[in-house]
Amino acid sequence: MARNKYDIDETLEAGFDFGQLKRLAKYVGPYKKDMIKAIVIMLVSSALSMLTPRFFMTIMDDYIPNKNITGIVFLSLLTMVIAIFICVSLKVKIILTNRVGQNVIHALRRDLFVHLQELPFSYYDDRPHGKIQVRVVNYVNNLSDLLSNGIVNTITDLCSLLFIIVFMLTINVKLALVCMCGIPILAVLIWTVKKKQRRAWQIESNKQSNLNAYIAESLNGIRVTQSFVREETNQNIFNQLSSDYKSAWMNAVRYNMMLSPIVDTISVLTTSMIYVLGINWMLGGEGNITAGVLIAFTGYISRFWNPITTLASFYNSLLTSISYLERIFETIDEPVTVKDREDAVDMPPIQGEVEFKEVDFAYDDGIKRLDKVSFKVKKGESYAIVGPTGAGKTTIINLLSRFYNISSGEITIDGIDINGVTIRSLRKQMGVMLQDSFIFSGSIMDNIRYGNREASDEEVIVAAKTVCAHDFIMEMEQGYDTQVNERGSRLSQGQRQLISFARALLANPKILILDEATSSIDTETEMMLQEGLLKLLKGRTSFIIAHRLSTIKNADCILYIDQGQIKEMGNHDELMEKKGEYYNLYLSQYSFLAS
């Protein structure tokens, strides 16, 4: 998936391979019994429906001239029984195919979502989330008709077409050939528009993706939009994206709509030819053509072009689905760059000694964010990381949690290279509170319990009390059972951070990482929190990133990071005595606070 924003179209890194349809077929494989049942039922009903025109021919040419009332009644009743059977068969087919289709869609969406869960932070860093979401929801949903009806209908219609041709040939070869003379013309027209049609649907999927990306971005930033009175500007952007999508959709549909009138026109022309030539041959005594034969052919010719129309519709649906399918499989094929090695083992119970050895790191842009970073943390020590914005502070803790792969060097915990252990076993023993205090929709209790699903209610409450969140939670209408919205919009930023803090504490990690954990907490709450922090940090190796230096004065060691390098290292008193970068930073902040 190409990196872009909402106003830049995506480009496929590889052209579509029809072999991917085989890949889609693997999702259908587990439900082949239902598919076979539906196909058999439809084939039987299709074969029986072919008898009706034959019955009419028999009635016209034999039973009516011979006044065979019994035969007429019998064939009429038999026709009615066949009609009832076809209706029941259609109902059963709809149930079976929709069940198969929805099961396949569920499996496809599940695999897509599971893979998205495994992709590293780097995948999401500069990709609009709306363009990712549209693949999981809209694109997968657009495959529904293809999977629920297209496959079965195509197989049964192909067989029905074969049945019809056989029946027509057994009645009259000349009329059968007249009926089929339009197929080559249709085939040439389909082949002519194929490439343009696929390209049109690719453009449509791009515009749909752009629109979805902008909607997601706008909803996430609605407070900023209203604060800066950007509603009219955003509306103009939305209208332009929506207009682009409408134009792309109309263009794509134009190609789809071409086939149906073409098929209808060819059908009308061949039907007219059947009547003109058939009547002439009948009047001239050629070809053994009777009124019953013409009536039978009239019934068959409509049946002949119906499956062709359905097949043309399936072809349209296939080309439409291909434009979505290639995007879905492109996402599923996105490599998981941060993953377990084949020889990875579970991380033993962590004691807490951490060491960075000559660690280098650069993002995809190639610019170094860390340059030969080395330090060692003993078990139970607290290390604070400070420095200017963009210095590499958050990068250090992201590498320790293996959210990214290091470029070179080594990171060890208790002497074990973290690249050699499974990611799950590593992260389960670490508690991370990132700058973005994300709150999920649900109760406050569930949000705190997110990192430890087996924790009791009492343990949740103890964690909340430790981080000074208990009082404000109890003031809410339902206490810990209060439902909060997605991203915690009902809570203040400080309240969201305290809940996230309790969540990290409840996980009972051996290594605790706090990234700006107190940045949105007022000074009074922070003073209350300090006692809880001391209890929390006791016996745990901890890394604390903070711009508010008053929160890290008691750290065992402070690392001053700038331009990806450790410029100074020591405790607060030692660094103040050096009167270097940390000293200047502290004084500038202290003077600001004092003023």
Domain over 341-429+511-525+539-595 is classified CATH 3.40.50.1100: no
Structure tokens at 470: 């208990």
pLDDT at 517: 63
Q: How far apart are the first and last CA of the chain?
A: 50
**C-alpha to C-alpha distances, 256 to 41, 248, 270, nearest whole angstrom:** 29, 13, 23
% pLDDT > 70, the chain: 88
Q: 3-class DSSP state for residue 547?
A: coil
Q: 3-class DSSP state for residue 127?
A: coil
Superfamily grouping for domain 440-508 = P-loop containing nucleotide triphosphate hydrolases (3.40.50.300)
pLDDT digits (tens, 9 = 90+) for 528-568: 566 656 666 777 899 988 777 767 888 899 999 998 899 99
Report the predicted TM-score, pTM, of the whole model to 2 decimal places: 0.68
**C-alpha to C-alpha distances, 88 to 42, 45, 47, 92, 386, nearest whole angstrom:** 10, 9, 15, 6, 73
Are 19-332 and 341-429+511-525+539-595 equal in CATH topology? no
| Cβ-based neighbours of 513, under 8 Å, separated by 6 or more | 397, 400, 401, 430, 431, 432, 433, 542, 543
What is the Cα 316 distance to its own chain's centre? 23
pLDDT digits (tens, 9 = 90+) for 482-502: 988 766 667 877 788 788 878
Residue 78 — very low, low, confident or very high, per pLDDT cuts 50/70/90? very high
Q: How far apart (Å, rounded) are the C-alpha atoms in residues 54 and 297?
A: 9
Give the helix ranges, DSSP H, for 289-361: 291-332
Q: 3-class DSSP state for residue 440?
A: coil
Structure tokens at 125: 């860093």
Q: 3-class DSSP state for residue 172?
A: coil
Structure tokens at 46: 């299709």
In one-letter notation, the amino acid at residue 584 is N
The CATH number of 19-332, from 1.20.1560.10, 3.40.1030.10, 2.60.40.1930, 1.10.10.10, is 1.20.1560.10
| Cβ-based neighbours of 529, under 8 Å, separated by 6 or more | 467, 468, 518, 521
Structure tokens at 459: 């343990």
Domain ranges of the chain: 19-332, 341-429+511-525+539-595, 440-508
Interhelix angle for 151-171 vs 69-118, to 10°?
150
pLDDT at 154 over 90: no
**Contact predicate 537/382, CB 8 Å:** yes
Q: How far apart (Å, rounded) are the C-alpha atoms in residues 451 and 506?
A: 7
Q: How far apart (Å, rounded) are the C-alpha atoms in residues 64 and 59?
A: 6
φ, ψ (nearest 5 deg) of residue 39: -65, -45
pLDDT digits (tens, 9 = 90+) for 504-533: 788 788 898 888 766 656 666 666 566 656
pLDDT at 6: 65
Q: Count Cβ atoms within 10 A of the Cβ of residue 362 and give its class: 0-12 exposed, 13-18 middle, 19 or more buried.
A: middle
Kindly state the helix (H) or strand (E) to which residue 410 belongs, with its residue range: strand 408-413
